[in-house]
């Protein structure tokens, strides 16, 4: 049991540098990955919001008596 705890503790100590090294894969720095993931997140959010806004706009036009 003590051996397992020691291995787990050492693995947790190695994880952050290993993650940074993995992020450098392909010549990209961690800040590059954060920028890419931010853009992906924004695109996904827009994909959810645009249909909602289009529906709201159509409902608003119907209430005003405009064409659809």
Structural tokens at position 66:
């405009």
Start-to-end C-alpha separation, the chain: 69
pLDDT at res. 10: 78
Structural tokens at position 29:
């720095």
| 14 vs 18: CA distance, rounded Å | 6
pLDDT at res. 62: 93
Question: pLDDT under 70 in the chain at which residues?
Answer: 1-5, 23, 26, 66-68
Q: Which domain holds residue 39?
A: 2-64
Q: Which long-range contacts (CB under 8 A, 24 or more apart) does 37-45 make?
A: none
Q: How many domains does the chain have?
A: 1
| 53 vs 59: CA distance, rounded Å | 10
pLDDT at res. 5: 65
Question: H helices of the chain, where?
Answer: 2-23, 30-64
pTM listed for this prediction:
0.51
pLDDT at res. 41: 95
């Amino acid at each position: 049991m003590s051996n397992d705890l020691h291995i787990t503790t050492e693995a947790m100590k190695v994880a952050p540098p290993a993650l940074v090294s993995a992020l450098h894969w392909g010549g990209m720095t961690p800040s590059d990955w954060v920028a890419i993931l931010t853009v992906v997140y924004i695109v996904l959010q827009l994909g959810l919001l645009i249909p909602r806004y289009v529906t709201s706009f159509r409902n608003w036009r119907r209430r005003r008596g405009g064409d659809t």
